[in-house]
Amino acid sequence: MADILVVDDDQGMREFLEIMLTREGYDVVAVPGGREAISRCRKKKFDLVITDLKMPRMDGISLLKQIKEVSPETMVIVVTAYASGETALAAMKEGAYDYLEKNFDLNDLKSLVEKALSQRGAGRDEARFIKEVENSPSYSGMVGKSKEMRKVYSLIRRVADTSANVLILGESGTGKELVARSIHENSTRKGKPFVVINCGGIPEQLLESELFGYTKGSFTGAYADKAGLFEAAHRGTLFLDEVGELSPFLQVKLLRAVQEKTFRRIGGCEDITVDVRIISATNQNLEKKVKELEFREDLYYRLNVIPIRIPPLRDRKEDIPPLVEHFMEKYSRELGREVKKISAYALELLVNYPFPGNVRELENIIERSVAMETSNIILPENLVISEMGEWGVSQKGIDDIPDEGICLAEELTHYERRLIEKALKKARGSKTKAAKYLSITFDSLRYRLDKLEMDQTNNEDSV
């Protein structure tokens, strides 16, 4: 059972929290001030600290800083008589999980405590998992611990040491090449060439010569013999990205190479035999293309011996927090920055965003945020999220942008205000119901109302 430390100079509030949390099954210690709290934290590791913000001798923010120095894994919830946006941001910048106003609803407190404790456990698991996959050749630096991704890892392990061809299916940006590299690096071909070619990004004639090579004099500019990628991948793996883009002519040539592991260079007369494993990837529906006679059925079945489907990021939202942490560490290191955290509100915005560009889009967002951030924490105002995403609102089309341009931050604030207004109207003024309509917490809605300077008067939700 979790150990909780309650810190409040108000004896009534301190005793109330101690009794209530003890009844919930937690082991609770209550102290009247920050100095006593630090002394306790040095003797024992608490899972959660709930502290008042305004206290004599040491306020909640100062206490928060010292707790994080003594026990970085301890979650902290700050309680205050009036929580302004500045207070919330100050607390989160110093490492607080969240905050509560003193007129809180008991269910809100219980829910927040459960979430904070679950995040503490999840945070440790995710940290271990991220370290494991980053250091393991089996995953090639892949990050994600969702049920869907664990199925992908299981398939990688099972098919790696076979010689069967693999077809990786998934939307653009889901990490198909990482899966292909993982299969290669976890197989007996590890250490041999891993050759990549994008079948959709090269003109047909050039792609043919890239794949199969050519002989001297076979066409204008062929001044010497040149080996193709099939030869370059000998004893290794050839990764055909976006294989659905191949022309009918190249599909025929590829079929023989895949079937027989034999081909001829352009202009050549001799058959060349290679030992190559083929891994293909596509974001298209190849079965549909086969039915529409746009893709050869025999080639499809040769490539699709073992299919691996990668789910889009919107279907595995639990992978977003560890991915964010991974990319923050990566780009802080590459850009020479010290961005180590992301605010709870900013993370919530990302979790609720549908990511049409999948993991690649998330990586770009975090890279920009790390580059732009002036502090050690990513705040909501520094997230630059693409207009392409259907974020529950009607986005402005590119043709609607005037010559003088627009302010993206102002536009996003405008849309956020409109959504909150609509949710409150639908909920007939109930903030509790409005928060449910928006799939956010009650306290998150309060924070946004305060940030947007919207009226928070609401008798129904008062506590």
Q: How confident is the model at residue 437 (pLDDT cuts 50, 70, 90)?
A: confident
Give the pLDDT score at 181: 92
Just give the CATH number of 147-310: 3.40.50.300
The highest-level CATH class for domain 316-386 is: mainly alpha
Long-range contacts of 460-463 (CB under 8 A, 24+ apart): 460/429, 460/430, 460/432, 461/105, 461/430, 461/431, 461/432, 462/103, 463/103, 463/104, 463/105
**Among the CATH numbers 3.90.1010.10, 3.90.340.10, 3.40.50.2300, 3.30.70.890, which is that of 3-127?**
3.40.50.2300
Query: Could you give the CA distance from residue 121 to residue 301 in angstroms, rounded to a whole number?
Result: 44
Cross-sheet strand order for the sheet of 194-198: 194-198, 237-241, 277-282, 166-169, 306-309
Q: Which residue has the higher pLDDT, 406 or 380?
A: 380
Q: Which residue has the higher pLDDT, 55 or 389?
A: 55
Q: For 109-125, what is each residue's pLDDT tens digit? A: 888 898 888 877 555 54
Q: Could you give the count of Cα atoms lying within 13 Å of 461 in the half-sphere of its Cβ?
A: 21
CB 44 within 8 A of CB 3: yes
For residue 387, pLDDT over 60 is answered with no
User: What is the Cα Rg of the chain in Å?
Assistant: 28
Query: Could you give the CA distance from residue 362 to residue 331 in angstroms, rounded to a whole number?
Result: 13
Q: Which two tokens stand for residue 44?
A: 């024992």
Tell the burial category of 273 from Cβ atoms under 10 Å away from its Cβ (0-12, 13-18, 19+). exposed
- % of residues, the chain, pLDDT over 70: 85
Query: Could you give the CA distance from residue 396 to residue 261 in angstroms, rounded to a whole number?
Result: 51
Sequence letter at residue 163: S
Q: Which residue has the higher pLDDT, 390 or 23?
A: 23
Give the pLDDT score at 195: 94
CB 319 within 8 A of CB 145: yes
**Among the CATH numbers 1.50.10.10, 3.40.50.300, 3.40.225.10, 1.10.10.60, which is that of 392-463?**
1.10.10.60
Q: For 59-73, what is each residue's pLDDT tens digit? A: 888 899 898 888 888
The pLDDT of 254-281, averaged and rounded, is 89
Q: Which residue has the higher pLDDT, 410 or 22?
A: 22
From 25-34, 358-367, 436-445, the region with the lowest mean pLDDT = 436-445
Query: Could you give the CA distance from residue 358 to residue 139 in angstroms, rounded to a whole number?
Result: 18
Q: How far is CA 290 from CA 121, 147, 174, 237, 293, in A?
A: 47, 31, 24, 25, 5
Question: What are the residue boundaries of the structural domains of the chain, listed by start?
Answer: 3-127, 147-310, 316-386, 392-463
CB 97 within 8 A of CB 116: yes
Equal CATH topology for 3-127 and 316-386: no
Give the pLDDT score at 388: 41
For residue 417, pLDDT over 70 is answered with yes
84: left (phi over 0), alpha (psi -120 to 50) or beta: beta
Query: Could you give the CA distance from residue 415 to residue 406 in angstroms, rounded to a whole number?
Result: 14
CA angle 194–200–205, rounded 5-degree value: 95
141: left (phi over 0), alpha (psi -120 to 50) or beta: left
Q: For 152-164, what is each residue's pLDDT tens digit? A: 887 887 788 888 8
Q: For 167-191, what is each residue's pLDDT tens digit? A: 999 999 999 999 999 999 888 898 8
Give the number of other Cβ atoms within 10 Å of residue 10's Cβ.
16
Query: Could you give the CA distance from residue 101 to residue 103 in angstroms, rounded to a whole number?
Result: 5
Long-range contacts of 404-413 (CB under 8 A, 24+ apart): 408/384, 409/381, 412/385, 413/452
The pLDDT of 93-105, averaged and rounded, is 78
For residue 393, pLDDT over 50 is answered with no
